Amino acid sequence: MKKDDSQELLVFNKEFTRQESIPSSGIERAIEIMQSGRLHRYNTTPGEISETSLLEKEFADYVERRFCAALSSCGSAIYVALKSVGVKAGDKVLCNAFTLAPVPGAIKNAEAVPIFVEINENFVTDLDDLEKKAIESNAKYFLLSHMRGHIVDMDRVMDICHRHNITLVEDCAHTMGAKWAGKHTGTFGAVGCFSTQTYKHINSGEGGLLVTDDEEIAAKAILYSGSYMMYERHISRPSLEVFERFKKVIPNFSLRMSNLVAALIRSQLPELDKNVQRWNERYNIIEEELQDVSCIYIPVRSEKEEFVGSSFQFSLIGIETEKIKHFLSVCAERGIDIKWFGEMEPKGFTSRFESWEYFTKTSKLPKTSAILNGMCDFRIPLTFNLKDCKKIAMIIKQVCRELELCD
C-alpha cells in the first residue's frame, strides 16, 4: 500500500477506557445496601439471604455448575482454585505463556513452579508443546488462561488432561459468556475462574467468581475465601458435612466479595448474553475491514468457538520493531489506543513472560516470543457504536498505507 494524499485524514475521538453505565437497577440496589449499612456478606438478619449469596447461586446456574464462590478478584479466585485442587509448594503447574500478570502471580502465591507452554499464531496454547511438557515435567496441574478471549481446542485439551492425569483450572477472565461447542468456558476443568474487573464482560470495579462441580473443592474455596464459621449462609454450597472435614485445616485468606459488588454484578448478569452479541457485531465489523490488509494477520477461530469479541488482536507480519513502534505512535496520534505485547518492559496491564523475574528460572519460548513481538491489541467497549468500529479499522488501514507497511 502507498500513501494517497487525496484521502481524508481520519481521527478517532472516543475513549477506549470508557465503559457503559451500571444499570439503574444495580445503582438503586447498591444505594439500598449502602443505606442499610450491610455491606459485609455475612451481615444478615435471621432468615435473610445476602446479595453475594444470591449472586453465587445465579452465576452457578448461568454457567450450569453446582457451586460458586464469590471473591475479591479473579486473581484471588485463581489462587484459591490452585489451593483448593491441591497445589502445594514446589508443585509444577503448566500454563500458557501468553497471559496477564495475575495468572503467574497466583502460581507464585501458591509457591508452585510454572511450566510455561508455547502459543501458536492464533494466540492459543500450542497443544503439541503442552503434551510434550506434560510428559517431560510430570506436572499434574494445568492453569489454562483463555487469554484475550481466544479459546483453544478444548476437546483435545481434555484428552491430554485425561491421559496424563492432569487437573485443569481455567482462567476465564476474558471469556465470561463464551462457549466451546455449546459448553461454557470454566466448566471443562475442575474449577473455572471469572473476572468482573472494570474492563471485563461485567463491570463491578473488581470481583472474582469461582465455579466447580466438586463439593470438596467448593467447601475449601468458601473456607479459603474467608467465611469464618458462617459458611451455612451460602446457598450455592455443598452440605455442611463436607465443611466439617476441612473447617479446622483451611486458613481464612479474607478474599470475600462484598454485597455492594455483588449488587452491581447481579444487575448486569441478565444482560450478558445480549451484550455478547453486541460485542461480536463490533468485532466482526473490524475483522471484515482489516481482513484484506496483507501485513495484518487476524487469528483464525474454530467453528466450535463461541467467543466474546470484547477486544481485538492482530499480528503485524514481517515488520521490524522500530516500524511497529512508529505504527503504534501514529495510531495513537489518530486516537487509536493500541497495546503492544512486543514491549519487553511491562507497561500498564501488559507484560510478557520474560519480565516475570520473581520466578528463579523461566524457559526460553522462541515461538511465543516471536508471536508476541508482532502482537497488537485494543479494547472494544460497548460505548463504541458500529460506525466507530468501522472507523477504527479504517484508521489502522490508513496508517498501514501511509507508512507503507503492506504490499
Domains of the chain in start order, with CATH, are: 24-270 (3.40.640.10), 272-402 (3.90.1150.10)
Residue 113 three-state SS: strand
State the cell numbers at 279: 460485542
Where b means 16+ CB within 10 Å and e means fewer, 21-38 reads: ebeeebeebbeebeeeeb
State the cell numbers at 302: 474454530
DSSP string of 152-217, one letter each residue: --HHHHHHHHHHTT-EEEEE-TT-TT-EETTEETTSSSSEEEEE-STTSSS-SSS-EEEEES-HHH
| Residue type at position 341 | F
Could you tell me which of 60, 83, 26 has the C-alpha nearest to residue 268? 26
* This prediction's pTM: 0.96
State the cell numbers at 13: 475521538
Please list the pLDDT of the chain residue by residue as tens digits (407 residues).
444 555 789 999 999 999 999 999 999 999 999 999 999 999 999 999 999 999 999 999 999 999 999 999 999 999 999 999 999 999 999 999 999 999 999 999 999 999 999 999 999 999 999 999 999 999 999 999 999 999 999 999 999 999 999 999 999 999 999 999 999 999 999 999 999 999 999 999 999 999 999 999 999 999 999 999 999 999 999 999 999 999 999 999 999 999 999 999 999 999 999 999 999 999 999 999 999 999 999 999 999 999 999 999 999 999 999 999 999 999 999 999 999 998 888 788 888 888 888 897 767 899 999 999 999 999 999 999 999 999 999 999 999 999 999 87
Look-up: residue for cell 515461538? 367
State the cell numbers at 185: 468456558
In sequence order, the β-bridge partners of residue 297 are 315
Residue 298 three-state SS: coil
Task: Report the C-alpha gap between 269 and 55 in whole angstroms.
Answer: 9
DSSP3 helix / strand / coil % (the chain, rounded to 5): 40, 15, 45
State the cell numbers at 266: 447481579
Task: Report the C-alpha gap between 142 and 161 in whole angstroms.
Answer: 8
Residue 119: phi and psi, rounded to 5, are: -110, 170
DSSP string of 341-371, one letter each residue: TT-SS-BTTB--GGG-TTSS-----HHHHHH
Which segments of 13-113 does DSSP mark as H helices, in order? 24-36, 51-63, 74-85, 102-109
- The order of strands in the sheet holding 67-71 is 67-71, 208-212, 191-195, 167-171, 141-145, 92-96, 113-117
